[in-house]
Amino acid sequence: MPVADTKTEAPKKFTPYEAEAGEEYMNEQQLEHFRQILLGWKQELMEEVDRTVRHLQEEANNYADPADRATQEEGFSLELRTRDRERKLLKKINETLEKIDEEDYGFCEACGVEIGIRRLEARPTATLCVDCKTLAELKEKQLGG
């Protein structure tokens, strides 16, 4: 049985945005650039959901051997957990697309500074700048351990 792959990382297939000198941050061209990245990512995730449904339908066998049945069920469980993570990611992508539509994209939710084009290309759903994200992770680590 194939191992469930995941598309929870941002898509790698896009041309990095080349800002011109003096260009305003998050202008129409930049917003459109990120809209296209997010729509492409969303499409990949939706195609993965369709593949999973087909795979679960095609591979569902009632094995007589308990070990074979357990192996199949574990594989299905792994696929479904992966798809659940992707479902949550689809929600974040939709929320991010709404922010783009409202022209409220690309700025840190905590401090209001620019998140940055390269960071957003690496993680288009990012809502915090690097500094605020680092602080949040440090706080989480201190509280968790």
Q: Per residue in 35-85, pLDDT tens?
A: 999 999 999 999 988 888 787 777 777 777 788 778 888 888 888 888 889
Cα(82)–Cα(143) distance, integer angstroms: 27
> In whole numbers, what is the pLDDT of the chain averaged over residues?
87
* Phi, psi angles (nearest 5°) of residue 60: -70, 105
The pLDDT of residue 81: 87
Average pLDDT over residues 111-118: 96
- Does 4 score more than 50 pLDDT? no
* Phi, psi angles (nearest 5°) of residue 106: 95, 5
Q: Environment class of residue 112 by beta-carbon count within 10 Å: exposed (0-12), middle (13-18) or buried (19+)?
A: exposed
